[in-house]
Amino acid sequence: MIYLNYSNLNEETQTQLLENSKMEIQERFGDDFRNYADENHIDFETMLEEEARRNLYSYDFVFII
């Protein structure tokens, strides 16, 4: 669960959430993703960014108002 201050949803916070998601994806699927990207000639960073954005939808957010 991720706790967010509702009044602090600026770009910096959003970037940090995306970076956290990227790190989680790399920890869970890093080698598989890199191998898939190499085999299919896909940019790894682009693929990682897209998957990290999808991963954000699996988080449970709690907004503190």
Total domains in the fold of the chain = 1
Domain boundaries, position 25: 2-64
Give whichever of 12-16, 20-24, 59-63 has the largest mean pLDDT.
Answer: 20-24
Distances (CA, A) of 3 to 8, 22, 43, 60: 11, 18, 32, 9
Please state the pTM of the whole predicted model: 0.74
The pLDDT value recorded for residue 14 is 83
Measured CA to CA, the distance from residue 33 to residue 59 in angstroms comes to 21
H-helix segments, the chain:
11-39, 44-56
Condensed to tens digits (0 to 9), the pLDDT of residues 15-45 reads 888 898 999 999 998 889 899 999 999 999 9
Count the Cβ atoms, other than its own, within 10 Å of residue 45: 10
How much is the mean pLDDT over the chain?
83
